[in-house]
């Protein structure tokens, strides 16, 4: 719509104040001024604006989805014995709090330490089998069996993920993780490299918004409780150590990734997919956050 185009034009202005992530070398190739959005309604309507054909990797957005799968695989008691429910106030890849926790359980599933424990809990014998189960779950939500992962980004992260390896070694020493470190990093980097456009992402956001049902097919993808837990983490930890400010300024359960993606779920109303690769200093899409602020203000979307 024209209104949405105007908001994209306005939000795009602040992309110049951000930077594309380059600690995963392959992500450094993104165009910092790209910005796209899709809003998906339960009746199948979708409004889009900006560079909508661009694909991006989910990165940390995948953490919400793997959490949903693992909650279904293992049940919430098992999961929350191994990963906590509290925000950290630390950067997403911080190792600092782990040593202060006894037992050494990561504070929440949205920081890397917690997400690695979640990915560890995905059921299946081989990395390939576990990855396929996660991919199938995502394909089901998007209703597109062509969704796959970007080999280049996965490999680029696998080759450089030494901080994540350090987190896994620490957690393995404390018996929170049992599997081979390289296998888990392989699975985690493939998970983070799952690729789609903002239209696809808005569909996933819609499934969470609609309490785990895909309204277009009527299919229940996950139990109500699982969708509720995931949306709550999106509010408390979805934007890392910017989650508090984001809750005040936007008030939409959202999850960001360092590729510049943001998935939003306006409870009971619609799903949002955004891509804008220029990031602020906390690793969130700078123009993406601006766009959500404008949307939330103009259409009173805050849930609070
Ligand atoms: O583990 C990593 O560093 C990345 N694969 C994902 C981190 C991420 O997306 C944090 N986002 N803001």
Domain boundary among 173, 192, 211: 192
Find the mean pLDDT for residues 49-76: 97
At 37, phi and psi to the nearest 5? -145, 145
pLDDT at 93: 84
- Which residues, in sequence order, are bridge partners of residue 48? 38
| Nearest atom in ligand 1 to 164's CA | 1
190 is catalytic: no
**Ligand 1 probe mutation, 21, 25, 57, 59, most atoms within 8 A of CB:** 59
Contacts of 5 (CB under 8 A, 6+ apart): 49, 50
Cis before 103 (ω within 30): yes
Domain that holds residue 168: 61-192
Considering 141, 172, 192, which residue would you say is the last residue of a domain?
Answer: 192
The CATH number that applies at residue 73 is: 1.10.1500.10
Q: Bridge partners of 37?
A: 49, 274
Give a yes or no: residue 303 inside a domain.
no
Reported as a pLDDT band with limits 50, 70 and 90, residue 250 is very high
* Residues 222 and 72: beta-carbon distance below 8 Å: yes
CA of 194 to the centre of ligand 1 (A): 12
Phi, psi of 254, deg, nearest 5: -145, 155
Q: Which of 258, 266, 285, 290 is catalytic?
A: 258
Cα gap 33→172, rounded to integer Å: 40
Q: Are residues 40 and 121 in the same domain?
A: no
Residue 6 contacts residue 237 (beta carbons within 8 Å): no
CB 60 within 8 A of CB 258: yes
CA 110 to ligand 1 centroid distance, Å: 9
Last residue of a domain, one of 192, 215, 236: 192
Active-site choice (8, 20, 63, 207): 63
> Given ligand 1 and candidates 60, 194, 240, which is best to mutate, with the most ligand atoms within 8 Å of its CB?
60
Predicted structure pTM score: 0.97
Does one domain contain both 18 and 108? Answer: no
Domain with residue 223: its CATH number is: 3.40.710.10
Q: Tell me whether residue 60 is one of the annotated catalytic residues.
A: yes
Q: How many helices (H) and strands (E) does the chain have?
A: 12, 12
Question: Can you tell me the distance from the alpha carbon of 131 to that of 172, in angstroms, rounded to the nearest whole number?
Answer: 21
Same structural domain, 152 and 78? yes
Instruction: Give how far Cα 94 sits from Cα of 192, 238, 244, Å.
Output: 18, 15, 18
Shared domain for 183 and 213, answered yes or no, is no
- Give the contacts of 17 (CB within 8 A, at least 6 positions apart): 278, 280, 286
Residues with CB under 6 A from ligand 1: 59-60, 92-93, 112, 157, 164, 192, 256-258, 283
pLDDT digits (tens, 9 = 90+) for 53-63: 999 999 999 99
Q: Is 131 helix (H, G, I), strand (E, B) or coil?
A: helix
Tell me, yes or no, if 78 is annotated catalytic.
Answer: no
Query: Same structural domain for residues 169 and 137?
Result: yes
In the residue annotation, 149 being an active-site residue is answered as no
Structural domains counted in the chain: 2
Structure confidence by residue, pLDDT tens digits, 229-245: 999 999 999 998 899 99
Q: Give binding residues for substrate as ranges.
A: 60, 112, 157, 164, 188, 240, 258
**Gap from CA of 172 to ligand 1 centroid (Å):** 20
Please state, in angstroms and rounded to a whole number, the distance separating the CA atoms of residues 87 and 254. 14
pLDDT tens digit sequence for 184-218:
999 999 999 999 999 999 999 999 999 999 999 99
How many angstroms separate the Cα of 167 from the Cα of each of 52, 147, 196, 264, 272? 35, 29, 28, 28, 31
ipTM: 0.93
Residue 222: how many CB atoms within 10 A of its CB?
Answer: 23
Closest CA to 42 of 228, 219, 274, 234: 219
Average per-residue pLDDT for the chain: 96
| 152 found inside a domain | yes
Output the furthest CA–CA distance in the chain (Å, rounded).
55
Whether 304 maps to a domain, the answer reads no
pLDDT digits (tens, 9 = 90+) for 91-116: 888 887 888 877 788 999 999 999 99
């Amino acid at each position: 719509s024209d209104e949405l185009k105007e908001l994209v034009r306005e939000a795009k202005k602040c992309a110049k104040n951000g930077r594309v992530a380059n600690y995963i070398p392959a992500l450094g190739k993104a165009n910092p001024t790209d910005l796209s959005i899709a809003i998906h309604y339960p009746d199948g309507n979708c409004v889009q604006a900006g560079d909508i054909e661009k694909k991006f990797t989910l990165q940390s957005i995948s953490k919400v989805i793997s959490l949903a799968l693992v909650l279904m695989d293992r049940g919430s008691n098992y999961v929350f014995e191994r990963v906590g429910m509290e925000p950290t106030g630390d950067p997403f890849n911080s190792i600092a709090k782990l040593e202060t926790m006894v037992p050494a359980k990561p504070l929440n599933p949205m920081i890397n330490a917690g997400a690695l424990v979640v990915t560890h809990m995905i059921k299946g014998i081989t990395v390939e089998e576990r990855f396929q189960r996660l991919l199938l779950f995502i394909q089901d939500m998007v209703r597109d069996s062509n969704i796959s992962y970007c080999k280049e980004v996965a490999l680029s992260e696998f080759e450089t993920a030494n901080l994540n390896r350090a987190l896994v070694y620490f957690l393995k020493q404390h018996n929170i993780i049992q599997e081979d470190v390289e296998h888990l990093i392989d699975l985690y980097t493939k998970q983070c490299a799952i690729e789609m456009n903002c239209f696809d992402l808005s569909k996933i956001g819609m499934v969470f918004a609609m309490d785990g049902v895909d309204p277009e097919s009527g299919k229940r993808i996950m139990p109500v409780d699982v969708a509720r837990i995931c949306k709550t983490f999106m509010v408390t930890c979805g934007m890392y150590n910017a989650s508090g400010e984001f809750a005040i300024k936007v008030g939409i359960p959202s999850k960001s990734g360092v590729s510049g993606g943001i998935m939003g779920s306006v409870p009971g109303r619609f799903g949002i997919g955004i891509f804008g690769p220029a990031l602020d200093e906390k690793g969130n899409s700078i123009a993406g956050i601006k766009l959500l602020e404008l949307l939330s203000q103009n259409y009173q979307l805050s849930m609070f």
